[in-house]
Amino acid sequence: MSAAPIAHDPATADVGRLVVRCPDRPGIVAVLSRLLADVGANITESQQHSSDPTGGVFTLRLEFVLPGLTTRRRQLEGALELLATQWDLTWRLAEAARRPRLAVFVSRTDHVLQELLYRVRAGDLRADITAVVSNHPDLEPVAAAAGVPFHHVPVTPETKAEAEAQALELVGDADLVVLARYMQIVSADFCSRFPERLINIHHSFLPAFVGANPYRAAHDRGVKLIGATAHYVTADLDAGPIIEQEVARVDHRATVEDMRRIGRYVERQVLAQAVTWHVEDRVVVEGDRTIVFA
């Protein structure tokens, strides 16, 4: 599939985001602030975290405005490359005006997909959903109503490898793949194609109640809190770095269906928030954990 043109958002023109990681030591913030000041950038947001101020890892997210950012990006990147050698840092630079391309995988339930579509339409999620892929045809009308291409890719145990290959061809070079209640386990090879760019919503408060029917398990256990977890997907099932979680209170009167209904609201919020934070370069993976500059 040929790549779609990258959309740009005029509302965020000249807004840049810089995420930096390096060994913690004095002077890092001052050096980076001076670098941005020297090229004429104005810092509008700054958040930082240190795993240990004496020998730990320092993580910094800066948001700034630089007139003519697109044309001056090379200049800024050159300065950062020089600084990376001097301070042993890794960095990523993003232009907020660039709208990431999202591919959303679904099965039969539509509530999470509907939430993502709504937030894109409302301008709350600055991204473009370029494809909806499903192992069932049920949600084609939802995608069609939003003007998003829908691709039905049936999956059986015998055709799973071929189906994944077809899906990968359909999503092309998507910036982020979202499993929005996609009730299939993706392979390790699929995960490797989207490192730290594959997000799943799990309808339980991980690491509790893993598997396909957590609300039944929660009901049988008599829990008083149910929740949802959005996490990056890795080859280890339901064990990737957690981005966002939320809970809702229930009591002994709640049936399994009550829990599913309540859970749908939680799932919508949790996944949409995780996707938004990822798109805004607010999530940094640190081993099995994440740093989220919310």
Catalytic residues: 238
Give the bridge partners for 229, in sequence order. Answer: 202, 245
The three-class DSSP label of residue 74 is helix
The answer to whether the CB of 32 falls within 8 A of the CB of 79 is: no
Angle between helices 256-279 and 111-122 in degrees, nearest 10: 40
The answer to whether the CB of 55 falls within 8 A of the CB of 23 is: yes
Q: Could you tell me the two tokens for 211?
A: 């598997």
Residue for token pair 């240990």: 52
Sign (positive/negative) of CA torsion 256, 262, 266, 272?
A: positive
